[in-house]
């Protein structure tokens, strides 16, 4: 075998080996944060529906991504969609847990009726108690909020479970409405999470 044949044979082996290596798939980069194309929760494979950055005035607060079993472009479709769901947040600055909790509760109140909130009062108390155990979330922390059918809402920070499962899909949908409701925390981010393609960056209040 001559030298060229040996080189070609080695290159061919490397090409085959490359097809056998499972590199992680990335769907989008948001302010330097690489977000995966898909995630798996329980037995469901979820696709990246959309992602963007949340700002406080001029400051980047977090990158957020919504994962669903199927692509959806309206909030009503997202909330009605059966199966697992995930909201991922990657912190772009330090935020106290008190500020985070206040922002969540304000967003939930703005997008959920009083009657609906009374139905999930116990879940809201559990959610509040969970935040009380976390002094702050730091830049680089990865927060995931999963809906697991038949189980409940699971909250993790950097892959570590922070609280017990919170039952009732009504609570998870109320949580999603913070970003997808009629008065979202960030109108621009809402559009991005629902799959709108745009390079424009807006300024929002957190």
Please, what is the average pLDDT of the chain?
83
Single out the residue of 25, 62, 54 nearest to residue 186, CA to CA.
Answer: 54
How much is the pTM? 0.81
Structural domains of the chain ordered from first start: 25-193 (3.50.70.10)
202 pLDDT more than 50: no
Strand partners, 124: none
Q: What is the DSSP string of the chain?
A: --HHHHHHHHHHHHHHHHHHS-PPPEEEEETTEEEESEEEETTEEEEEEEEEEEEETTEEEEEEEEEESS---SHHHHHH--S-EEEEEEESS-EEHHHHHHHHHHHHHHHS-HHHHHHTHHHHHHHHHHHHT-SEE-TT-EEEEEEETTTEEEEEETTEE-S--B--HHHHHHHHHHHHSSS-S-HHHHHHHTT-----------
pLDDT single digits (tens) 135-181: 889 999 999 999 999 999 999 999 999 888 999 999 999 999 999 99
CA-based torsion, 53, 59, 182, 142: positive or negative:
positive
Single out the residue of 64, 83, 58, 71 nearest to residue 184, CA to CA.
Answer: 64
Single out the residue of 127, 195, 201 nearest to residue 166, CA to CA.
Answer: 127
Token pair of 172 as six digits? 């998870």
pLDDT single digits (tens) 11-56: 343 333 333 333 344 467 787 778 889 999 988 899 999 999 998 7
CA 111 to CA 103: how far, in whole Å? 12
From residue 136, alpha-carbon distances to 29, 53, 79, 99, 128 in Å are 25, 19, 29, 9, 14
pLDDT single digits (tens) 115-148: 999 999 999 988 888 888 888 899 999 999 999 9
Residues 6+ apart with CB under 8 A from 82: 69, 149
């Amino acid at each position: 075998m001559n030298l060229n044949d040996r080189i070609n044979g080695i290159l061919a082996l490397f090409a085959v080996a490359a097809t056998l290596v499972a590199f992680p798939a990335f769907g989008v980069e948001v302010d330097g944060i690489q977000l995966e194309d898909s995630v798996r929760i329980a037995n469901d494979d979820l696709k990246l529906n959309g992602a963007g950055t949340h700002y406080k005035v001029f400051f980047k607060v977090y990158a957020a991504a919504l994962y669903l079993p199927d692509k959806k472009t309206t909030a009503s479709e997202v909330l009605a969609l059966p199966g697992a769901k995930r909201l991922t947040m990657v912190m772009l600055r330090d935020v106290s847990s008190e500020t985070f909790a206040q922002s969540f509760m304000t967003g939930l109140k703005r997008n959920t009726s009083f009657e609906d909130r009374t139905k999930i009062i116990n879940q809201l108390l559990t959610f509040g108690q969970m935040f009380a155990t976390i002094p702050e979330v730091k830049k680089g922390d990865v927060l995931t909020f999963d809906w697991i059918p038949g189980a409940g809402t699971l909250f993790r920070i950097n892959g570590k479970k922070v609280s017990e499962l919170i039952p009732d899909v009504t609570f998870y949908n109320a949580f999603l409405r913070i970003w997808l409701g009629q008065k979202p925390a960030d109108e621009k981010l809402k559009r991005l999470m629902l799959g709108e393609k745009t390079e424009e960056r807006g300024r929002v209040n957190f």
